Structure 1
């Protein structure tokens, strides 16, 4: 009973935090393609074939862990915000998702074993970072040979107010810039998809999906537990 009471209190705390942030997020969401369209596009990009392990960097509410739950065997979400992790844990408990977990971590210094995940996703995170290339390098380090890196973020735009009211550090990323970053990490670009905003207004945002693959050949070497925390 005490455990259930603690869980209920944590869920209520998470819901209150999410409600406080919802208005700000809703404003941003209205500027780009519907979340459902983005989710369908990322599912299509990854294909229907299941994979073993999934890492979601900047997991936020844990939404991608839910969306991809029928594709992976195990999953880990990492976020720097304890408040967001509370939201994610409440959401995972609500849907009964037991093969996924979330924990606190630094996207610039991932506490996961190298070469341990089949798919790594960075969904709407890079534009908040001062050093996106460094985060991409950490994500690439976590990829198993043959693994795939999925990046979802904004195309270049000029909405300066997002810096002040939404804490954006970067106003989108161009195809050439992303290609250079990925090639520097020895990753091969497989697919690029642009999703137009919900309306034709030129003040709205285009969402881009970049899918890259680690071209290394899979070997028979033992694979570390991807959810194990490392120093």
Structure 2
């Protein structure tokens, strides 16, 4: 009862309600909230702190940036908050003005993301469009998942956030992990649309994420492993994150001899053979390993392989152990 009374008291303050309503749309920094709410930074910081203490807002640090977001697992407190937010009138003039200013913040963020992405788009864009039949790749990814729905997707090495956006209709919640603050800003731009409100990104080494054991039922590694010194570390983390019978999806180049990829695109590995990947997956407790080949643009460009594997069920793990 004390918890309920405390949450109701917090929700009785209009400015705290405004903050929660904004965070329902996306993660925001204090400075962004200040711009939208037109309140002083100390006051916004105070309100955020009270919401954190109540267990309804999380703090997410990325380098020198700190984002606030609604708690994913807040129990009864979050149930009350979401119930109240659903009842807020969409035509409330204060809320409408906040949404207008939020769109202005998004526009500024989009310009910053575009400026950064322009610096890398020449290489990344050429790699995506010349070497990869992107539409075929994405269609094959969706076909691999069929019509199954997932509770939590974790996209390791999320980059621009494209995989999260592509699979957004297949997942209840999604988290993208990337170490680069610049790429995370691009991902936030990619996912800034209202229909992606159930998706988020955070900064972390993809081989050592802060997420708990067995929290996900879908983990994706899209064009990531060839950049890593130790691909097995990423697969080990994927195995840890997945619940038994969870699904792993790996998209990467087939083994090739394009040495120029090392210099042009910072590739550590020149793709993976089906045998090598199968051995890696088996070593990290994956079973039912299957793959599909997507041909490169022509004979001079490497093929792409899409692997799907299942985290071994408990009875299999006991045998392995």
Q: Distance in 1 between matches of 2:159 and 2:132?
A: 19
The TM-score normalised by the length of structure 1 is 0.89
8 Å CA contact 2:278–2:289 kept in 1: the answer is: no
**1:112 pairs with 207, 211, 234, which one?**
211
* Partner residue of 2:163 out of 37, 41, 64: 64
Tell me if structure 1 keeps the 8 A contact 2:157–2:206: yes
Per the TM alignment, residue 95 of structure 1 is displaced from its structure 2 partner at its CA by 5.2
Contact 1:53–1:75 under 8 Å retained in 2: yes
Among residues 286, 290, 298, which one is paired with 1:187 in the alignment? 286
Report the 3-state secondary structure (helix = DSSP H, G, I; strand = E; otherwise coil) of the residue aligned with 1:77: strand
Distance 2:197 2:179 in 1: 22
Any idea what SS the aligned residue of 2:201 has? strand
Question: Structure 2: which 5+ residue stretches go unaligned?
Answer: 1-33, 37-101, 316-321
Counterpart in the other structure of 1:27: 126
Q: Report 1:5-154 matches (<5 A).
A: 5-94=104-193, 96-154=195-253
Q: Distance in 2 between matches of 1:13 and 1:150?
A: 31
**Larger relative helix fraction:** 2
CA distance in 2, matches of 1:32, 1:44: 21
Q: Which runs of 5+ in 1 are unaligned?
A: 219-231
The number of equivalent residue pairs is 216
Give the secondary structure class of the aligned counterpart of 2:131: coil
- Following superposition, the deviation at residue 169 of structure 1 comes to 0.3
Alpha-carbon deviation of 1:107? 1.2
Measured in 2, the distance between the counterparts of 1:156 and 1:194 equals 12
User: What is the CA distance between 1:39 and its match in structure 2?
Assistant: 0.7
Offset at residue 103 of structure 1 (A): 0.6
Native 8 Å contact 1:32 1:207 kept in 2 = no
Partner of 1:225: none
Q: Partners in 2 of 1:103 and 1:149 — Cα distance? A: 20
Runs of 4+ residues deviating >6 angstroms: none
Deviation per CA, 1:137-189, whole angstroms, max 9, x where unpaired?
01110001110110000001111111012110000001111111111112113
Where relative contact order (Cα < 8 A, 6+ residues apart) is larger, the structure is: 1
The answer to whether 1:2 aligns with 2:18 is no
Partner of 2:303: 206
Normalised by the length of structure 2, the TM-score is: 0.65
**1:95 to 1:124, Cα distance in 2 relative to 1, 3 A:** farther
Q: Residues 151 and 211 of structure 1 are in contact (CA less than 8 Å); yes or no, is this contact kept in structure 2? A: yes
**Structure-2 separation of matches of 1:74 and 1:209:** 23
Do the aligned partners of 1:79 and 1:106 also contact (CA within 8 Å) in 2? yes
SS of 1:70 mapped into structure 2: helix
Q: Secondary structure at the match of 1:115?
A: coil
In structure 1, distance between residues paired with 2:189 and 2:302: 30
Task: Give, in whole Å, the separation in 1 of the partners of 2:110 and 2:128.
Answer: 24
The residue that corresponds to 2:313 in the other structure is: 216
